[in-house]
Amino acid sequence: MDYEDLVHPMIAEDADDLLGGEKRKSPLCVLFKDARHVLKKDELGMEIAQIAFPAAMALTADPIASLIDTAFIGQIGPVELAAVGVAIALFNQVARIAIFPLVSVTTSFVAEEETVGRAITDDQENENLEMQLAPNSERKELIPKFVLLSLAMQGVFRGFKDTKTPLYATVAGDVANIILDPLLIFVFRLGVSGAAIAHVISQYLISFILLWTLIKKVDLVSPSLKDLKLGRFLKNGSLLLVRVIAVTFCVTLAASMAARLGPTPMAAFQVCLQVWLAASLLADGLAVAGQAIIASAFAENDYSKATATASRVLQLGFVLGLVLSVFLGVGLQFASRLFTKDINVIHLISIGIPFVAASQPLNALAFVFDGVNFGASDFTYSAYSMVLVAIISILCVLLLSASHGFVGIWVALTIYMSLRTFAGFWRIGTGSGPWSFLRTLTSPFYGDNL
Cβ of 41: how many Cβ atoms within 10 Å?
9
Residue 130 falls within a domain, yes or no? Answer: no
The β-bridge partners of 29 are none
Residue 447 falls within a domain, yes or no? Answer: no
Residue 133 falls within a domain, yes or no? Answer: no
Residue 129 falls within a domain, yes or no? Answer: no
What's the rounded Cα separation, in Å, for the pair 53 and 285? 6
Domain with 399 in it: 3-123+139-442
- Whether the per-residue pLDDT at 165 is higher than 60: the answer is yes
Residue 128 falls within a domain, yes or no? Answer: no
How many folded domains does the chain comprise? 1
Instruction: Say if CB 438 and CB 378 are below 8 A apart.
Output: no
pTM for the complete prediction? 0.74
Residue 349 falls within a domain, yes or no? Answer: yes
Instruction: Give pLDDT, residue 219.
Output: 64
Instruction: Say if CB 180 and CB 201 are below 8 A apart.
Output: yes
Instruction: Say if CB 124 and CB 131 are below 8 A apart.
Output: yes
Q: What is the residue-averaged pLDDT of the chain?
A: 78
Which of these, 68, 16, 13, lies nearest to 274 by C-alpha position?
Answer: 68
Instruction: Give pLDDT, residue 336.
Output: 81
Residue 266 falls within a domain, yes or no? Answer: yes
Could you report the per-residue pLDDT of 345-403, keeping only the tens digit for each?
899 999 999 999 999 999 999 999 999 999 998 999 999 999 999 999 999 999 999 99
- Whether the per-residue pLDDT at 122 is higher than 70: the answer is no
Could you report the per-residue pLDDT of 286-323, keeping only the tens digit for each?
999 999 999 999 988 899 999 999 999 999 999 999 99
Could you report the per-residue pLDDT of 28-47, keeping only the tens digit for each?
777 777 888 888 889 999 99
Which of these, 60, 84, 63, 92, lies nearest to 195 by C-alpha position?
Answer: 84
Instruction: Give the contacts of 43 (CB within 8 A, at least 6 positions apart).
Output: none
Residue 21 falls within a domain, yes or no? Answer: yes
